[in-house]
Structure 1
Amino acid sequence: MDNYILGISCFYHDSAAAILRNGEVVAAAQEERFTRIKHDAAFPQCAIGYCLEEAKVKLDELEAVVFYDKPLLKFERLLETYYAYAPLGLISFLKAMPVWMKEKIFLKREIKNGLQSVQQYDRKKLKLLFTEHHLSHGASSFFVSPYEEAAILTIDGVGEWATASIGWGKGNKIQILKELHFPNSLGLLYSAFTYYLGFRVNSGEYKLMGLAPYGNPKSSQTQQFVDLIKTELITIKNDGSISLNQKYFDYAIGLKMVKEKKWEQLFGISRKSPEEVFTSVHLNLAFAIQQVTEEVVMKMAEEAQRLTGQKNLCLSGGVALNCVANGKLATNGPFENIYIQPAAGDAGGALGAALAVEHIYFGRKRSFKANKKDAMKGTYLGPEADQAELDHLLQIHRAVCHEFESVDQLTQEVASLLDQGYVVGWCQGRMEFGPRALGNRSILGDPRNPDMQRKINQKIKYRESFRPFAPAVLEEDAWSYFEMSGDSPYMLQVQPVAKQLRQALPDDYHKLSMWDRLDVPRSELQSITHVDLSARVQTVSKETNPKFWQLIDSFKQLTGCSVVINTSFNVRGEPIVCTAEDAYRCFMRTEMDYLVINNCLFGKQAQPKWKKQDRWQEEFVLD
């Protein structure tokens, strides 16, 4: 008889659900993809419904339902923190208490009621379990990794008390060796700078990471900012543990991340508004906090290696989505191998909670296979864009498409469109779990085209022009385009573009404005080369995603280039598309040129030649 375990994360941000069958990851998805509310924190009713449907199981058949942290421990931290600072923080306390009393203290009731909204079940038979937050994160990485034994490093904002932890995984066991506790948090420090530089906390951190390379590493101001951060805001110890000077922060008991007047006195600039133009001061400050973050991550990793003696490292937690730090850790760190959970943030906690119960609570062994890829199935764990859904879309919208008889014909045609400078939406198979689009819900372009970065940012994504794009490269060719060894299947490492592809930069390069720097020729793959000559690489495996691999290979056969631009299929402020309907709607609302759903090509540029078909829909033929 099969065993099913459902994992849930919700009520903070990025709610999600995941389900295991006999320890195998069957399905996982974020709630935002269904509700279309970015970073949706609500109970993941839709995600749970999808997971049950994909696994073909009912709630009454589940062995256990697991929540990804322990709310009473969080409540303890809240009360102790307010007590320590009393009478300060009264306003924040009064605002927080009603929410905690309604949703958090009585979380068992909330979860059971939420499950009832998914489908009817016997509440008395339900086994409802809770794991600790950092154990969920660590389990989400280690138990799906290709390692029998590894060090585990989790870094985020805060769980119950822990803000960073070092663990040791072996077989089906995880031992937590060391923790850093609230209010000292590298994640919250980075979020504080995210806030101060005009981005939204819990969603703008990756924008700050993308902004940092525009800072001038040679500027005395940049070094001054680094020194101020390390002398006034943070104390960094040799083991990677940190202490934050709370006189500058307000997140513990206040309603903001920082005490703005003190930061203004410290750095000489006021908090940037979202509408304000970036100046060199903002850019240098972004560079400074990124550099400090990388230093702390490296020290924590070195401590993890010292404590465990392992050659393998598993990374998780929101800070593990800092691709720049990951790349430097992979290149210069103390570990031979690094595995990063693709849904490293809170969404991945749902999966980790289920895995922790499977292996630690029930004690079942991992189906481990040495030297194989991880157990995430490329993280293609979401709903599939199936033919029935596509047929419904065609009927409702009377959309015009050409359906190719073979994948070869399709990929050759799309490769030709990319070569001609067109932007193509690519919606295939099962949706990715985690924040990155990895070739199933992607927008694609030609990286050799120097105008492509601005075109996609401004006319399709409707987002900030400074934002870089990631390259998707054939796994076997990655070494010839980027200075890297090994693979990066989840777009979670930034690595330098190969020297032979770079172009010489002008002597005054770092003195140019950020917008002028964007126009400076940097490499033969201009539109995926960031201003610091790096790229956030995705290596594409023929085994994991054969159709996306074949498309890039078709582009290679046509152009000699094994790389395409790969960015998430969404516009600013919206989640990545989930359904064929979502993809078509996004396609029609933007200046995207073509859309591919399964083997069907939709177009705007070509003048259609109409002809009747046996099926009720009509098609166009490209000239």
Structure 2
Amino acid sequence: MPAVLGLNFHHDTSAALIVDGRLYAAEEERWSGIKHHRHTHKGVLTNPTHSLAWCLDAAGITPADIDAVWAASMRPAPAAGRWLGEEREELAALLPAPLGDRLRLISHHTAHIMAGYLLSGHDHAAGLVIDAGGSSLGADFGPSRERITGYDLRPDRVDRIHQAMPTVAPDTTGPRRVHPSLGHFYRNLAMRIIPPGDEPEGSMMALAAFGDPGRHREDVRSLVRMDADGEVRIPHPLGSADTTTPLVIGDRAWTADSAADATLTERADLAAAVQEVFADAVTHVARHLQRLTGASTLVFSGGCALNSHLNGHLAADAGFETLFVAPAPHDAGTALGAALYAWNYQLGQPRLAVPIDAGWGPEPGRFPTTGLPAGYQAISHLGERLEPTVAALLADRHIVGWVQGPMEFGPRALGHRSILAHPGDTSTRERLNALKQRAAYRPFAPAVLAEHAADWFDGDGDPFMNRVVKVRPDRAEQVRAVVHHDGTARLQVVEAHHQGMRSLLEDFHRRTNLPLLLNTSFNLKGTPILRTAEQAVHAAAELRLDALAVDDTLLLADHIANTPNGPLNSAGERPAS
């Protein structure tokens, strides 16, 4: 019974375990309640204690049963006296002895690309990783780190063929290393555009749909230089975390502290220009990789691969036939990539099947039998009546929490820990944004039955909600709640064997002739997607949802449960309490 473990001790702490070809994976934030499991002190290492314990328990094995343990290296600073061997020892000390003794390190970017390539189903692919920063590039480059990395990927080798390197520029205190970090660039500009309180990158991508990129296109384009051989150059401080040095664009000096001073229109226009230039820069690198590899498939990972608007057109713009975005392209996915690397390249095991879902985490546990929130009542043991009953609620424009089966791994709710709603009513979208305390311009994603996707959308979605596609103009009016301002939607394609909400979508389709639902993450503002049934009950009440389905139990708001007919099952009868 071969077993391998992948770990991430840094930002987005996580654990992934493969046992006999079955994958278990979870993020530590779902236990700590701290989004990204982020710590106030930069560089703090944390053991994925709860996610690791859950993986072992779910697989029914002990640390002694693990054949190989890999983790992504992340310490950026040989200049601070930390070398790869010292980092390994530091991480090993956080683990039980059998695991610590077997720990080996893989580079951060290689772990990222393995989390995509080894699940893609493709033999030959170009690989691209772009994020704020990864592993150290070595002592000769001071504290410099991986920023943009390209690969030629094949079943028998992982060949790094492109590496963005720092440049040296004069400064008042001497030479300064300038880092080509497109991840930092996008976040740096986002923090100057999006006022505090909203997630910067996702909010800026959404806001860009409302803006005119032409207003600031040339100003922003002058900030990113694209040279031969896929090189990208970004001036200081825009490739760093410094958001206090003013950036003068138009008649305004943009800093993080002054983001709220600009009008929504001003901010949207700058966001549109940044999104366009960022996409052009990523495409520039991807085209170079296509020329080097001759591959027809591009695998994309790292934090910048969460830019779903870019992903919608990257393959075509860069000369590839196919794009595969890692199911979890953020840092938590490096644990998954490390485990897959050990499974395939160290143990020589067959590749896992291409996933249609990321339900690799824990079940929600029992629905609480006591302490139900005021204003709600529970109906239990619905069994096969659950989906038709919830489909009826959704058809009547009610908002429903949906907690079913194993928790998703990654930043998107994919139908296991979701809030669902009718896709055709913009008032529902406005109510949801108010309940979740999100900016009014933030869109919601549609989840669609795979066999109907082409009837409603132009472009290829994916199972992980990683791409934006065009909504067919003749269909858009029917699903206004999931259509963004520019006529696009971030699409989740739900295949036949999806265990989270496939049956519910089918029931909703039969009832409404709409093969899709509005799907958003089940969480409170500023917190991770929830994990347990108990958390779901608390969050449903705090968000004032109309209903909550956990396994075959339905929690109903009194204003629905006490109506003459109540919720209807497929036979048109009120389910028994």
TM-score by length of 1: 0.81
| Distance (whole Å) between structure 1 residues aligned to residue 326 and residue 251 of structure 2 | 35
| Distance (whole Å) between structure 1 residues aligned to residue 518 and residue 63 of structure 2 | 41
Tell me if 1:400 matches 2:396: no
SS across alignment from 1:606: helix
Alignment counterpart, residue 327 of structure 1, candidates 291, 296, 312: 312
Written as runs of structure 1 = structure 2, the 5 A alignment for 1:245-324 is 245-246=235-236, 248-249=237-238, 251=240, 256-261=241-246, 263-264=247-248, 268-271=252-255, 273=258, 276=261, 278-324=263-309
CA displacement, residues 107-154 of structure 1 (integer Å, 9 cap, x when unaligned): 4454334324xxxx457x821100011111111111111112211111
| AA matched with 1:225 | H
CA displacement, residues 452-491 of structure 1 (integer Å, 9 cap, x when unaligned): 11100102x1222211000011100011111124x41111
| AA matched with 2:224 | I
SS across alignment from 1:159: coil
CA displacement, residues 538-582 of structure 1 (integer Å, 9 cap, x when unaligned): 01112133x511111111111111111000001210100111111
Alignment counterpart, residue 448 of structure 2, candidates 469, 473, 476: 473
Per the alignment, residue 569 of structure 1 pairs with 522
Which stretch shows the higher mean deviation, 163-172 or 194-203?
194-203
Tell me if 1:39 matches 2:36: yes
Change (3 A) 1:316 1:31: same
| Distance (whole Å) between structure 2 residues aligned to residue 302 and residue 108 of structure 1 | 36
| AA matched with 1:537 | L
Change (3 A) 1:269 1:303: same
| Distance (whole Å) between structure 2 residues aligned to residue 571 and residue 565 of structure 1 | 17
Change (3 A) 1:238 1:471: farther
| Distance (whole Å) between structure 2 residues aligned to residue 305 and residue 241 of structure 1 | 14
Change (3 A) 1:47 1:491: same
Contact map agreement 1:18 1:27 (CA 8 A) in 2: yes
| AA matched with 2:473 | K
| AA matched with 1:306 | R
Tell me if 1:379 matches 2:358: yes
Change (3 A) 1:359 1:472: same
Q: 1:75 Cα deviation (Å)?
A: 1.2
Alignment counterpart, residue 104 of structure 2, candidates 129, 143, 155: 129
SS across alignment from 1:7: strand
Change (3 A) 1:106 1:351: same
| Distance (whole Å) between structure 1 residues aligned to residue 154 and residue 397 of structure 2 | 49
Contact map agreement 1:154 1:165 (CA 8 A) in 2: yes
| AA matched with 2:32 | T
Per the alignment, residue 606 of structure 1 pairs with 560
| AA matched with 1:243 | R
SS across alignment from 1:573: coil
Q: 1:622 Cα deviation (Å)?
A: 8.0
RMSD: 2.7
Written as runs of structure 1 = structure 2, the 5 A alignment for 1:216-615 is 216=212, 222-231=213-222, 233-246=223-236, 248-249=237-238, 251=240, 256-261=241-246, 263-264=247-248, 268-271=252-255, 273=258, 276=261, 278-360=263-345, 362=346, 364-367=348-351, 374=354, 376=355, 378-386=357-365, 389-390=366-367, 393-395=368-370, 397=372, 400-407=377-384, 409-459=385-435, 461-485=436-460, 487-502=461-476, 523-545=477-499, 548-604=501-557, 605-608=559-562
| Distance (whole Å) between structure 2 residues aligned to residue 215 and residue 281 of structure 1 | 8
Q: 1:357 Cα deviation (Å)?
A: 2.6
| AA matched with 2:474 | Q
CA displacement, residues 320-373 of structure 1 (integer Å, 9 cap, x when unaligned): 11000000124544222211112101100011112223333x2514336xxxx6
Per the alignment, residue 93 of structure 1 pairs with none
Change (3 A) 1:540 1:265: closer
CA displacement, residues 238-261 of structure 1 (integer Å, 9 cap, x when unaligned): 543201112x4473xxxx423523
Change (3 A) 1:68 1:266: farther
Per the alignment, residue 90 of structure 1 pairs with none
| Distance (whole Å) between structure 2 residues aligned to residue 285 and residue 594 of structure 1 | 40
Q: 1:278 Cα deviation (Å)?
A: 4.0
| AA matched with 1:10 | F
| AA matched with 2:458 | E
Tell me if 1:195 matches 2:226: no
Q: 1:106 Cα deviation (Å)?
A: 5.1
| Distance (whole Å) between structure 1 residues aligned to residue 303 and residue 50 of structure 2 | 23
CA displacement, residues 283-302 of structure 1 (integer Å, 9 cap, x when unaligned): 11100010011111222222
Q: 1:181 Cα deviation (Å)?
A: 2.8
SS across alignment from 1:214: coil
Change (3 A) 1:501 1:607: closer
Per the alignment, residue 30 of structure 1 pairs with 27
Contact map agreement 2:73 2:106 (CA 8 A) in 1: yes
Alignment counterpart, residue 115 of structure 1, candidates 73, 95, 102: 95
Change (3 A) 1:451 1:105: farther
| Distance (whole Å) between structure 1 residues aligned to residue 196 and residue 35 of structure 2 | 12
Per the alignment, residue 209 of structure 1 pairs with 205
Contact map agreement 1:163 1:180 (CA 8 A) in 2: yes
Length, aligned pairs only = 536
SS across alignment from 1:181: coil
| Structure 2 portions without partners, runs of 5+ | 39-45, 136-144, 167-178, 564-573
Q: 1:397 Cα deviation (Å)?
A: 4.1
Tell me if 1:151 matches 2:134: no
Alignment counterpart, residue 61 of structure 1, candidates 39, 61, 65: 65
CA displacement, residues 50-107 of structure 1 (integer Å, 9 cap, x when unaligned): 1111221111221222121253xx212xx3xxxxxxxxxxxxxxxxx6xx87x99854
| Distance (whole Å) between structure 1 residues aligned to residue 260 and residue 224 of structure 2 | 29
Which stretch shows the higher mean deviation, 428-437 or 162-171?
162-171
| Structure 1 portions without partners, runs of 5+ | 80-96, 217-221, 503-522, 610-619
Change (3 A) 1:315 1:474: same
Change (3 A) 1:540 1:150: same
| Distance (whole Å) between structure 1 residues aligned to residue 93 and residue 397 of structure 2 | 51
| Distance (whole Å) between structure 1 residues aligned to residue 90 and residue 529 of structure 2 | 28
| AA matched with 1:594 | A
| AA matched with 1:554 | D
